[in-house]
Amino acid sequence: MDNGMEAMLETYLYETNSLLDALDELLVNDEKIGDFSSDDVNEIFRSMHTIKGSSAMMEFNSLATIAHHIEDLFFYIRDKGIESLDSEHKKELFDLMFRSGDYLRSEVQKVEEGSPLSAEAEIDSFASEINAFLKKISNTADEAPEETADETPAPEEKSAAPGMPEDPDAAAFLHIYLEEGSGMENLYAFMIINALQDAFVFRCYPPDVETNPDTSAEIIENGFYVAFDSREDVEQAESMLKSQAHIRSYEILENPGKKTAAPAPAASDVKTQEAPPAKQEPPVSDSKPAAAPAKAPAAVPAKAHAPVKQNLISVNVMKLDSLLDIVGELVITESMVTSAPELNQLSRDSFDNFMKSARQLRKLTDDLQDIAMSLRMVPISGVFQKMNRIVRDMKQKLNKDVRLIIEGENTEMDKNIVDSIQDPIMHIVRNSMDHGIEETQDERIRAGKDPQGTLILAATHTSSEVVITVTDDGYGMDPAKLLAKASEKGLLTKPAEEYTKKEALNLIMLPGFSTNQTVTEFSGRGVGMDVVKKNIESVGGTFALDSELGSGTTVTMRIPLTLAIMDGMKVTVGRSIFTIPIANIMQSFKITTDEIIYDDYGNEMVARMDSFYPIVRLHRFFNLETEVENLEDGILLWVEANDRSYCIFVDQLIGEQQVVVKPFPTYLNSFELKNFGINGCTILGDGSISIILDVLGLYGAAVNEK
């Protein structure tokens, strides 16, 4: 497959996936109300039309066929009005649409994976299901089923001009010739028709010009026809065509077969569009004055629709990453320049001038950094919307009545993080639906709760992290039960009486702990909360659980806004500067000699808040030369990560700074520095390199192996 084809496939997948996502969101929302608005019907119709067209272009027939049938169905609904359906049918329609959406999605997935698409028979059975539904609703609507007759009138062969279709209603035709040799005539035809579709009512001949690859030979040869009901539309459409690429030439033909209008000579005027495809220059001078005034009104609808499709572009994340890198460098270089010692040699006046410009520069680089950062940020709504769907499906399967409330879905996070928290959130939502919410409504009523369960999915921003909570008002967790279960599995590390409530709740996050007796379709597949916790921690987040027996459970996830930038505390050891993530630091303090406690191996420990913590001397662990050897002279940092808590001994603190995390050069990877608690490095304001410590890794290397 050549490059162009790959790019096209990528665009296709991106477009189809986003259409399907939008469809899902729309369906879930509409189902809550139990009705489609006519706007939504149009929306579904349009997106199915697009999927049909582009799938046929890419020759993914299964997708095209299904989309085509749904399109037919919605064409009918659009025609008759959604009001013509009774609630029973609507319910069925929702179900059918959800399944169709899933079907299309699974096909798209097959395309992505490069596996073969569904066989004809399978498509047919699904398609006939849709058709059956269409038949059903068209019968009850006691109208003669004239469904798609309007859209696809079969062109009859005999006509006045050679190849000109017969259409008694049309006032005029646009006869469009596409560029030669492009090999993508169907796609271009589809693009043109799509553009016109937003503004006009028209029919085109051959009717399936956009989708049927077989017609391409004919289009190349004879062009294709677009029939308009009124002369005005033709003129407006003509001006729209001028902005379309890939058109070789077009002509306006009066319809000789029109019933009322007097027969006109076939070709009234012919224009050739010489503009190259990429440019949108208007073609040769207007030979017909009437066309000029028509342009202005036509421009309005064209503009109104265009931006919807064009104000988003998809960019490779790699490019964004390197942009962020460069901006990071720029910021550092800027501060290097403005703090250069040579500046002191400037005269007072020129120094003031310099500082004025420097401030301006600082402002610009700050803005630039903000924008570059925001480029990677995407709203979390995509993940939340998917939960909508999961809740809906589980509601039906488990026969529980649950209302999902979504708050703060516009909270933005780094793209990578949004991708990686989707599974954990999904798992938690499933757990809440499956085990959290009471089995029956009676049970809820007896407990004095609203018969309808509530699941709240919320996201809020704090300065450096996003807090996501999943709250249900179900059973809640019983610490006693958890403890009993844990001791049964042999997971307890101390007598059950000594467990606090929080500790008991945290038992659920141990590997191999699952309170559900049986494996259900949605949860209890052997992976439990421990996996969820691990996933959250892998993106630098923390995970906490709170539950009140009888009133529900809240799961709180705190996740850093971005992985690329973090708040660090700079510390010195000898001549080296290390950066420790602020998030890990609990406290920093000085101690006196008599506070140090030794064990029988001579390991140093210190007491803090009624507990004892080991001391890790960075200079000893890393073999660094320093003058600060005495624990009284330096400073201790009490750090915690993942329930591992200890103290790091350093020479002194320099201060807090936001740093851009950079991975080590590839050459150094083989030394496995991560095992020694060295996580990456960063470039400080003066251009020097600082090593970022991984508090957890350092614990493993320094404390465990002592």
Partner 1 sequence: MSEQTTNVNLDAEETSAQEEATTVERCLSFQVDDLILFLSTDYIVEIVNDYPITPLPMVPSFVKGMINLRGQILPVLDMRLCMDKPPAEYTGKTCVIRLDIDSAPLCIVIDSVCQVLDIDFKEVRPIPVKRQQKLLNGMIDLGDGKVMMSFDCNVLLEKRY
658 is an interface residue for partner 1 by CB under 8 A: no
Residue 365 is a binding residue for partner 1 (CB under 8 A): no
Residues 6+ apart with CB under 8 A from 496: 483, 484, 487
In sequence order, the 6+-apart residues with CB closer than 8 A to the CB of 530 are 509, 510, 511, 512, 513
Q: Does 691 bind partner 1 (CB under 8 A)?
A: yes
Closer by beta carbon to partner 1, 602 or else 665: 665
- CA distance linking residue 142 with residue 130, whole number of Å: 19
Taking the CA of residue 618 as centre, how many other CA atoms within 13 Å lie in the half-sphere pointing to its CB? 30
Please state the closest distance from residue 665 (CB atom) to partner 1, in A: 5
Question: CB-wise, 332 or 616, nearer to partner 1?
Answer: 332
CB 694 to partner 1: min, Å: 13
* Residues 321, 316: Cα–Cα separation, whole Å: 9
Cβ-defined contacts of 218-223 (< 8 Å, 24+): 219/178, 219/185, 219/186, 219/189, 220/178, 220/180, 220/185, 222/162, 222/163, 223/175, 223/176, 223/177, 223/178, 223/250
**Could you tell me the smallest distance in angstroms from the CB atom of residue 346 to partner 1?**
24
Q: Which stretch binds partner 1 (CB under 8 A): 83-91, 300-308, 327-335, 486-494?
A: 327-335
Residue type, 271: K
19 vs 324 by CB, closer to partner 1: 324
Binding to partner 1 by residue 270, rule CB under 8 A?
no
Q: Which stretch binds partner 1 (CB under 8 A): 161-169, 305-313, 446-454, 660-668?
A: 660-668
- In 574-699, DSSP assigns E strands to 576-581, 585-589, 597-598, 604-608, 611-617, 635-641, 644-650, 652-660, 678-683, 689-693
Among 325, 334, 393, 546, binds partner 1 (CB under 8 A): 325
3-state secondary structure string, 276-323?
Answer: CCCCCCCCCCCCCCCHHHHHHHHHHHHHHHHHHHHCCCCCCHHHHHHH
The residue within the footprint of partner 1, chosen from 151, 481, 688, 706 (CB under 8 A), is: 688
Give, for 77, the enclosing helix (H) or strand (E): helix 61-80
Count CB-CB contacts under 10 A for residue 43: 17
Question: What sign does the dihedral 323-329-333-339 (CA atoms) show?
Answer: positive
**Interaction of residue 668 with partner 1, rule CB under 8 A:** yes
Determine which residue in the list 158, 670, 704, 705 makes contact with partner 1, applying CB under 8 A: 670
Stretch in the footprint of partner 1 (CB under 8 A) among 6-14, 41-49, 328-336, 551-559: 328-336
Q: How far is the CB of 671 from partner 1 (least distance, A)?
A: 5
DSSP single-letter state for residue 397: H
User: Taking CB under 8 A as the rule, does residue 117 contact partner 1?
Assistant: no
> Per rule CB under 8 A, is residue 659 in the interface with partner 1?
no
Q: How far apart are the first and last CA of the chain?
A: 57
332 binds partner 1 per the rule CB under 8 A: yes
Beta carbon nearer to partner 1, 75 or 621: 621
Cα separation, 433 vs 446, in Å, equals 19
Judged by CB, which is closer to partner 1: 587, or 658? Answer: 658
699 binds partner 1 (CB under 8 A): no
Least Å distance, CB 297 to partner 1, is 54
Tell which one of 343, 398, 673, 703 touches partner 1 (CB under 8 A): 673
List Cα–Cα distances, 665 to 668, 680, 701, in angstroms: 6, 9, 22
Q: Does 322 bind partner 1 (CB under 8 A)?
A: no
Q: Binding of partner 1 at residue 598 (CB under 8 A)? A: no
Alpha helices (H) along 141-243: 185-197, 216-222, 231-241
Pairing, β 565-573 against β 652-660:
antiparallel
Residue 511 binding partner 1, by CB under 8 A: no
Q: How far is the CB of 580 from partner 1 (least distance, A)?
A: 15
Say how many residues touch partner 1, by CB under 8 A.
Answer: 29
User: Which of the stretches 35-43, 149-157, 596-604, 670-678 binds partner 1 when contact is defined by CB under 8 A?
Assistant: 670-678
Query: Quick check: 321 binds partner 1 (CB under 8 A)?
Result: no
> Whose Cβ is closer to partner 1: residue 598's or residue 667's?
667
Query: Is the Cβ of residue 476 or residue 685 nearer to partner 1 in the bound state?
Result: 685
The burial class, CB within 10 Å (0-12 / 13-18 / 19+), for 214 is: exposed
Q: Which residue number, 10 or 329, has a Cβ lying nearer to partner 1?
A: 329
The DSSP H or E segment spanning 565 is strand 565-573
337 part of the interface to partner 1, by CB under 8 A: no
Does 375 bind partner 1 (CB under 8 A)? Our answer is: no
Q: What angle do CA 436, 441, 445 make, to 5 degrees?
A: 100
Adjacent-strand bridge partners of 668: none
Tokens representing 319 are: 């490019």
Quickly list H helices, 399-551: 415-431, 441-446, 479-488, 501-506, 529-538
Binding mask 17-36 for partner 1 (x = CB under 8 A): --------------------
Residue of the chain from 329, 439, 450, 521 that contacts partner 1 (CB under 8 A): 329
Q: Which of 517, 518, 666, 704 binds partner 1 (CB under 8 A)?
A: 666
27, 174, 483, 681: which one contacts partner 1 (CB under 8 A)? Answer: 681
Residue ranges in 603-632 that form contacts with partner 1 under rule CB under 8 A: 621-624
User: Which residue, 544, 546, 558, 571, is CA-closest to 635?
Assistant: 571
- Spatial contact of 203 and 227, defined as CB atoms under 8 Å apart: yes
Closer of 437 and 691 to partner 1 (Cβ): 691
The reply to whether 354 sits near partner 1 by the rule CB under 8 A is no
What length is written for the chain? 706
Q: Is 576 in the site for partner 1 (CB under 8 A)?
A: yes
CB of 676 to partner 1, least distance (A): 5
408 binds partner 1 (CB under 8 A): no
Residues that bind partner 1 (CB under 8 A): 325-326, 328-329, 332, 575-576, 621-624, 662, 664-668, 670-671, 673, 676, 678, 681, 683, 687-691
